Structure 1
């Protein structure tokens, strides 16, 4: 097994970088995080000083042949151009959700990556966490029998989030594409490919008023969706429902956020935006669910584990788990629901992805060292 550290840089020094960088720097020996870059030079310098990195200009990043992997944390609207430039420069790329805003752009990037024999991966990587991996173990083991249906939902109050940060206004920042993609990714990682979808996507009352003191009374216009409801038909016959609504209340904790129904029982799972969370199972003949004991690693904040797992995959010549095909499939599901709402017909999902092996069990609360956690993602 080739464990040579991969020299890595981060592109984008916004708020999410402060979540990614501690994980990338401190928790995985496979990654040697050397630099950070941002179109805003001051942001790059601040981040570099905070984390002990080299501040780089975009030109320096693209020209530095020693940088093998770039973790792209720019906004979704910038992913097409930035991912394209990085791939053309010969860099492997792992980007924060989503691959791009448009399907045709994502497909172009996938072809480019294949042509240049480069890896392209994307968040969300929370499906590698202990909660979703435990849920998959329950389903794969047959504990709840043959799965027949599933359900995922999330509610948020985006008037609150928009008022605080200005996020959630532009295309790609809505409740489905920015947040619901976690739920879709969790479901397909457990149940496999979707063959067709139907549903509706809308922007209800797009005009709003900022709630922060600095902009109090000023109005904004939301360009992204704030509600989506859909039905998924999986290739294995499972039927699923989705409901994503950012016009309602921000409920925390959200339990259950994902439900999977089987012939012998029901699985309940918490918010897949998190790596950890209770997984409950209600078996036939019982009246109360039990909490499934978890034996997988990554039971705390590990944002960026997908990039580390991709680095291990590159070094050892295998396909990474948070791969471009899976990310594209999740994107196409969301786009398909939106298109179905316009056409008033079912929308066939053209893409497929290979359902990757689950992570090995037995790494939770045994040894919390970096090397022990590395083992759990280095194995097939």
Structure 2
């Protein structure tokens, strides 16, 4: 794979992209911009990249076909995504795409008007674990899927030593942004992308969300830190999804089919094991096999990245897919429709509160084409 990217924002998550970039030969970084000159200088010195302290010159100097990674604070995503698209650049945005559905729809329309790609993280949907589960579903390993339980619970984060968490280049974990943006907007996409890629559009969301730990880090009221959602797909099983920074750590997904259960325990690990436990009758009891079978795809799949902190994910799979789509002249798997629908479903869960009830989705998205090595 070949191509050029540029980075807008070089805070905590930017280091994870650069670690992943080292596993992706052929992709180069044209330039980096951040509004904090000290942070920009430190990041670029660490990774030996070219810094551009002026946003206008950064935008004007980007080469044609460059993918700009918007890695800024969530509150700035809409404004900067809009500026990037208006300047004629393809955009890959860290989650969320925008903080309001109307903003996300405006970005979607602008990308279509300009003929530009607009994609949203996370890109673990392109990773081996998600693709292995997708292949198992298409192959009918567990029979017809009837229900799915998925958890994105991170433990009691407010009691963790998060002020000691720093990236490789020294950027602190942005706890204020994390708490004010909320774990649902930050993390729901790790399984929503998988689900939407397999089954397409979510038809209706029935959810509740709330802040059960007020005054985190002395910030006062913040975003919900617990959400529980039931998702009704147009062509897929009913799914329960939980997000929290309260419940004990669990990032598992279980798919309950007619023949047994598919499961994966680590959404943040591209190489996480995918297993199938067949259901059978033993001595008048219905049981799941205590020795589940591991499912594997033919190797090689994609470049892997060693674990750093809580994750073992290749953050560059998304930008690489965009560059490949450009080079091959085909639609990108991480399409604007995919990004918009992901944003609408995530916002519906985040903003549900106690009284939202059933929310009918207004956007649509087709299932994703599997990666070539997962067909």
TM value normalised by structure 2: 0.86
Report the equivalent of 1:182: 190
Summarize deviations over 1:152-187 as a string: whole Å, max 9, x none: 112222203585245155676312110122122122
Report the equivalent of 1:50: 46
Q: Give the C-alpha shift of residue 241 in structure 1.
A: 0.7
Structure-2 change in CA distance of 1:32 and 1:263 (3 Å): same
CA contact (8 A) 1:25 1:32 kept: no
The answer to whether the aligner puts 1:262 opposite 2:257 as a matched pair is yes
Distance, in Å, in 1 between the alignment partners of 2:71 and 2:352 is: 30
Report the equivalent of 1:272: 267
Distance, in Å, in 1 between the alignment partners of 2:57 and 2:269 is: 34
CA contact (8 A) 1:131 1:276 kept: yes
Summarize deviations over 1:343-371 as a string: whole Å, max 9, x none: 44311111111222111228xxxxxxxxx
Summarize deviations over 1:20-51 as a string: whole Å, max 9, x none: 0232355142x321211101122222222222
- Structure 1: gaps (5+ residues): 211-218, 363-379
Report the equivalent of 1:194: 202
Q: Give the C-alpha shift of residue 188 in structure 1.
A: 1.7
The answer to whether the aligner puts 1:331 opposite 2:349 as a matched pair is no
Q: Which moved more, 1:158-167 or 1:48-57?
A: 158-167
Report the equivalent of 1:375: none
Taking only aligned residues, the RMSD between alpha carbons, in angstroms, comes to 2.2
Structure-2 change in CA distance of 1:176 and 1:339 (3 Å): closer
CA contact (8 A) 1:113 1:120 kept: yes
CA contact (8 A) 2:104 2:343 kept: no
Equivalent residues in 2 for 1:151-162, closer than 5 Å: 151-156=149-154, 157-160=156-159
Report the equivalent of 1:215: none
- Structure 2: gaps (5+ residues): 164-172, 281-287, 306-312
Report the equivalent of 2:131: 133
Structure-2 change in CA distance of 1:137 and 1:80 (3 Å): same
CA contact (8 A) 2:4 2:28 kept: yes
TM value normalised by structure 1: 0.85
Report the equivalent of 2:279: 284
Report the equivalent of 1:297: 302
Q: Which moved more, 1:60-69 or 1:35-44?
A: 60-69
Distance, in Å, in 1 between the alignment partners of 2:357 and 2:119 is: 31
